[in-house]
Amino acid sequence: MRLFAQGRSLLAAVFRHSRGENDMEEELRAHIAERTQDLERGGLGRGEAFRQARLEFGGYERFKDECREAGGGHFLQTLLQDLRFGFRMFRKSPAFTAVAVLTLALGIGTNTVIFSYVNAWLIKPLPYPQAERLMAFKAHDTKRGWTANSVPSTADYLDLEAEAKSFERAVAWTTWNFNLTGDGPPALVEGGRVSWGFFDALGARPIAGRTFLPEDDQAGRGHVAILGQGLWETRYASDRGIIGRSIRINDEPYTVVGVMPATFQFPLMGIANLWTPMAMTDAQRADRNNSWFSAFGKLKPGVTPAQANAECAAIFAHLEKEYPDTNANTTVVLTSLNDEIGKNEGAPQVLICFWIVGLILLIACANVANLMLARTARRVREFALRRALGATRGRLIRQLLSESVLLFLFGSVGAVLFGLCGIHVIDAAIPGHVRGYIVNYGHVGLDVTTLAFTMGIALGCGLLFGLAPAVENSRLDPNVTLKEESGQASGSSGGARLRRILVGAEVAVAVVVLVSTALLVRSFIISVRSSPGFTPANVVAAQLALPKTRYPQPALMRTFTQDVLSRLRALPQVESVGAASSVPFGGFGQGVEVRATNKPAPLPGQRFGARYTAVSTDYFATMHIRVLKGRTFTSADSAGAFPSAVIGQTLADRLWPGEDPIGQQLQFGDQHTLCTIVGVVGDVKMYNLRANPERQMYVSLEQFPSPTLAFVLRSA
């Protein structure tokens, strides 16, 4: 009740200010009149009695201030007075105001721009409702301690989906490439295969049509598709009649059931403009040896990640007992999907940029504080007069702080305009094909969080950097200042010392900014110069996927590959041509389990795999991949010959440490295919220039034709 009464009093003081002032004036006059009458009855004349009453009463305005404070609203009233006074002072100094506001707009604006990316990338990487409840399922080897980004196996995931009670829904997903034909030239479209609840778990809604239904995700019934808005606009001219139409994907008919908005993005999937259901076959659903997709679940309300982790551990402990050959030392751990996305490459660089622009803001604030000190040094006579007339140090400090905050708020308005321009400039500089790989790119902008950040740093910096000039000028001795003959004071020695300190701080911070920027540039140069294991200069690549309806047999795939290679070799200025089932940084690949036949078979839970790539004879020469030992593929590695393999240095060291791998036999894949090692090549970085080398093996495209192909061409 007391708080309510204080609030009511405060509101009354603010909104009925004139009436309150009149009442207070009348009451004070009544007190003085009553005392005057008492003194007249004591024998004093009327004029002398009034003078004596005023002297006894004391400071008239001081009593009025005390009454205002007791009645509430005094702080707001004086604050508004201070702000109005500060605004008038800034109007009298347009040059100072313009320089200070522009400096602050640039300093705060650069922070606003970078924070908009930090906000979208790290703070809210998934712009979906209740994103904090989304948990990624990651296979974990309890013996060796490694964790994979995928689930342990298809059957394990389905068991988890059926038995776990901690989740509203569990969904699976994987990136995929589709051949799109009809309604334009053939196109390779990046997208994904997802289980039916994928979009619903994220809370994403289509702009047309619907998302997938459970019956869409059944084997043999998955011939439905959802388009991205970009694909819908460019290929189908935003035709609303696309819903229900049949399009050809991988040379098979698919019915379009929905269109997702351009702002929809699942960052871990990269660029995606087309989605189809997983529609796993019975054989895939029963597989406990392989994993080809990732998954996540949405926690039920009230369920903590720790509780869900404990339940998953219990489920996989049971699976380990039931399937010891495939599930030994295997479990699933949960990680926040927000955290998982925040780990993507580029996040450290954004934070470094945020650190650098934060230091730039400090320099800008120190500059403005110096300008304010120089300006207030010319106002010392004004401050001395106010002190002499009864203003307290606190009142003077508050006045100067109000001016500082007002100036910084003006700067924040300019910062918002600068931020809008800055985001637009960065947006224009980013190539269109790169934007889809930027986490949450479609949601970078000046949202409520970013605007609150802008106003917050403006208010905080205004108080922090306005405090020093305010305190310094409140220490003036009015007697000394007013006695100066010139009528103008140059400021205290403390103010000059403070200005020197600020200049020194600016220089120090500027040095830190230069060093930090140099380190960031150096890191970028190292990344650019970091060898990916091949020479990308003068190399172009074209990726495609052969439709299984037209190329159902390996012989047909082999013929198609050789025909394309022959035509490419005939082109002018072509130095060499190669083909592979996948290429570095191409967005897709395949992994297989491997083991050396001359080594003891690994125990359950100790098996490991390698990245598998089928390549043509000239692939290594075209890509300029170093041959360390042995040879690459030749015409002798034909379809009827015993399978050959070329392995990377890391895999060679893992399988045959200190031994010569040439001539050794390797077993790989579900069919335990045998092959002979004929060569060792340098490691190639496939996804990340900073990543550690992967275990890699290559087989001949003649012996292992692939429906997914990438043709690489090196020009002269």
Strand partners, 540: 713
Which helix or strand (DSSP H or E) is residue 336 part of?
Answer: strand 330-336
Confidence grade of residue 613 (pLDDT, cut at 50, 70, 90): very high
Which helix or strand (DSSP H or E) is residue 294 part of?
Answer: strand 294-299
Cβ-based neighbours of 400, under 8 Å, separated by 6 or more: 376, 466, 469, 470, 473, 474
Task: Name the percent of the chain lying above pLDDT 90.
Answer: 34
pLDDT digits 0-9 by tens, 623-682: 999 999 999 999 999 988 999 999 999 999 999 998 999 999 999 987 788 999 999 999
Pairwise CA distance, residues 705 & 563, whole Å = 13
Residue 489's pLDDT is: 45
Confidence grade of residue 3 (pLDDT, cut at 50, 70, 90): very low
Pairwise CA distance, residues 620 & 678, whole Å = 14
Residue 209's pLDDT is: 94
Tell me the longest C-alpha to C-alpha distance in the chain.
Answer: 135
Neighbours of 278 (CB within 10 A): 27
**Taking 50 as the threshold, does the pLDDT of residue 15 lie above it?**
no
Higher pLDDT among residues 698 and 402, named by residue: 698
**Taking 50 as the threshold, does the pLDDT of residue 614 lie above it?**
yes
Residue 563's pLDDT is: 94
| Among the listed residues 189, 382, 345, 359, the one whose alpha carbon sits nearest the alpha carbon of residue 276 | 189
Cβ-based neighbours of 193, under 8 Å, separated by 6 or more: 173, 174, 176, 275, 276, 277, 278, 293
Neighbours of 556 (CB within 10 A): 14
Pairwise CA distance, residues 204 & 227, whole Å = 13
CA dist 90 → 86, 95, 101 (Å): 6, 9, 11
Residue 692's pLDDT is: 76
Higher pLDDT among residues 14 and 242, named by residue: 242
Strand partners, 647: 680, 697
The 3-state DSSP class for residue 482 equals helix
> Highest-confidence range of 85-99, 427-441, 609-623, by mean pLDDT?
609-623
**Taking 60 as the threshold, does the pLDDT of residue 433 lie above it?**
no
Cβ-based neighbours of 605, under 8 Å, separated by 6 or more: 141, 142, 143, 144, 328, 329, 330
**Taking 90 as the threshold, does the pLDDT of residue 568 lie above it?**
yes
203 in the Ramachandran plot: left (φ > 0), alpha (ψ -120 to 50) or beta? left
Confidence grade of residue 193 (pLDDT, cut at 50, 70, 90): very high
Cβ-based neighbours of 46, under 8 Å, separated by 6 or more: 36, 40
Cβ-based neighbours of 688, under 8 Å, separated by 6 or more: 345
Average pLDDT of the chain? 82
Residue 637's pLDDT is: 93
Mean pLDDT, range 448-456, rounded to an integer? 88
Pairwise CA distance, residues 361 & 509, whole Å = 10
Neighbours of 92 (CB within 10 A): 8
Neighbours of 141 (CB within 10 A): 18
Pairwise CA distance, residues 319 & 151, whole Å = 14
Neighbours of 254 (CB within 10 A): 20
Residue 227's pLDDT is: 97
Pairwise CA distance, residues 217 & 279, whole Å = 4
